[in-house]
């Protein structure tokens, strides 16, 4: 999940190495429905959910309308997934080149209550192709600031989703590693009674 235009659909395509999800050609909101994709990573199948983007309330009436319809439907969607025991990992997506107060609100409303002791929350940061000397420098420079604001994560990946790009392979590895990592069993009571080798974990982006 994340703000509109943060790169959620692009990340799905990066993980899958296939253009499954529609990506916005510009800054307009693109994904309008919750769509799941079965993606195989190193022999395991993951159910990845692409979600409509959340947009900050602004003075523009059409964006305000988008926000008002998306937020309750995201809440309902999460309740449904929780009810079916299908919430295994939250991937919060943000643009590294665009800090926003909206991110903190999304974290507060959707991630904090779901994190301990239930679902791990990780962050995937996009648009980092120009960060020097390496994309991960973004995390080194920003982790403390995020933590100061109460945004704590169980894992992170610094990415570019550009295609073609010389850093795409490294980005794909990083995001695949992020979603396939085994997070501490004590923060995953939803998996108790299930084998951790169980395929078909779902992952909400
Ligand atoms: N330069 C750059 N552009 C990116 C990157 N990731 C995504 N984009 C571009 O950013 C725009 C938005 O990407 P989407 O994947 O559609 O974003 P989204 O979060 O799914 O947006 P909504 O569906 O509207 O919520 C598209 O034009 C992408 O091509 C990146 O890492 N670097
Ligand atoms: Mg999208």
Does residue 118 lie in a domain region? yes
Lowest mean pLDDT among 4-8, 27-31, 119-123, 144-148: 27-31
Does residue 2 lie in a domain region? no
Does residue 134 lie in a domain region? yes
Does residue 195 lie in a domain region? yes
Does residue 34 lie in a domain region? yes
Does residue 1 lie in a domain region? no
* Structure tokens, 99: 């800090």
Residue 133 belongs to domain spanning: 8-204
**pLDDT tens digits for range 172-198:** 999 999 999 988 754 444 444 444 344
Q: Is the CB of 30 under 6 A from ligand 1?
A: yes
Does residue 3 lie in a domain region? no
**pLDDT tens digits for range 93-116:** 999 987 677 888 889 888 887 776
Tell me the sheet residues that pair with 44: 41
Helix axes 168-180, 8-16, angle to 10 degrees: 90
**pLDDT tens digits for range 11-58:** 999 999 999 899 988 777 888 899 999 999 989 999 999 999 987 665
Dihedral sign for Cα 139, 141, 146, 148, please: positive
Higher pLDDT, 126 or 106: 126
CA of 8 to the centre of ligand 1 (A): 7
62 has pLDDT over 90: no
Identify the DSSP state of 186: G
CA of 5 to the centre of ligand 1 (A): 5
Lowest mean pLDDT among 23-27, 74-78, 119-123, 168-172: 23-27
CATH number at residue 27: 3.40.50.300
| Residues with a beta carbon under 5 angstroms from ion ligand 2 | 8-9, 30-31
Identify the DSSP state of 53: P
pLDDT band at 203 (very low <50, low <70, confident <90, very high): low
User: Atom 12, ligand 1: which residue's CA is nearest?
Assistant: 5
User: Atom 26, ligand 1: which residue's CA is nearest?
Assistant: 24
Q: How many CA atoms lie within 13 A of 58 on its CB side?
A: 9
Identify the DSSP state of 129: T
Q: Is the CB of 126 under 6 A from ligand 1?
A: yes
Give the number of other CB atoms < 10 A from CB of residue 197: 7
Mean pLDDT within 60-71: 62
Does residue 102 lie in a domain region? yes
User: Atom 32, ligand 1: which residue's CA is nearest?
Assistant: 127
* Structure tokens, 91: 């991937």
Q: Residues of the chain with pLDDT > 90: what percent?
A: 59
* Structure tokens, 128: 């980092």
pTM to 2 decimal places: 0.88
Q: How many domains does the chain have?
A: 1
138 has pLDDT over 90: yes
């Amino acid at each position: 999940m994340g703000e509109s235009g943060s790169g959620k659909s692009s990340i799905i395509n990066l993980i899958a190495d296939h253009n499954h999800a529609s990506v916005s050609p510009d800054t307009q909101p693109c994904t309008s429905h919750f769509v799941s994709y079965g993606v195989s990573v190193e022999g395991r199948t993951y159910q990845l959910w692409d979600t409509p983007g959340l947009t900050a309330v602004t003075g523009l009436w059409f964006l305000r309308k988008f926000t008002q319809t998306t937020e309750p439907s995201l809440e309902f969607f999460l309740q449904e997934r929780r009810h079916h025991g299908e919430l295994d990992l939250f991937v919060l997506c943000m643009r590294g080149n665009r800090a926003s107060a909206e991110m903190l609100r999304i974290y507060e409303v959707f991630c904090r209550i779901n994190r301990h002791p239930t679902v791990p929350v990780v962050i995937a940061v996009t648009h980092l192709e120009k960060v020097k000397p390496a994309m991960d420098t973004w995390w080194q420079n920003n982790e403390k600031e995020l933590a100061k604001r109460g945004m704590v994560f169980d894992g992170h990946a610094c990415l570019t989703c550009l295609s073609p790009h010389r850093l795409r392979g490294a980005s794909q590895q990083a995001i695949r590693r992020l979603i396939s990592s085994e997070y501490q069993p004590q923060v995953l009571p939803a998996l108790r009674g299930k084998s951790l080798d169980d395929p078909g974990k779902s992952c909400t982006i």
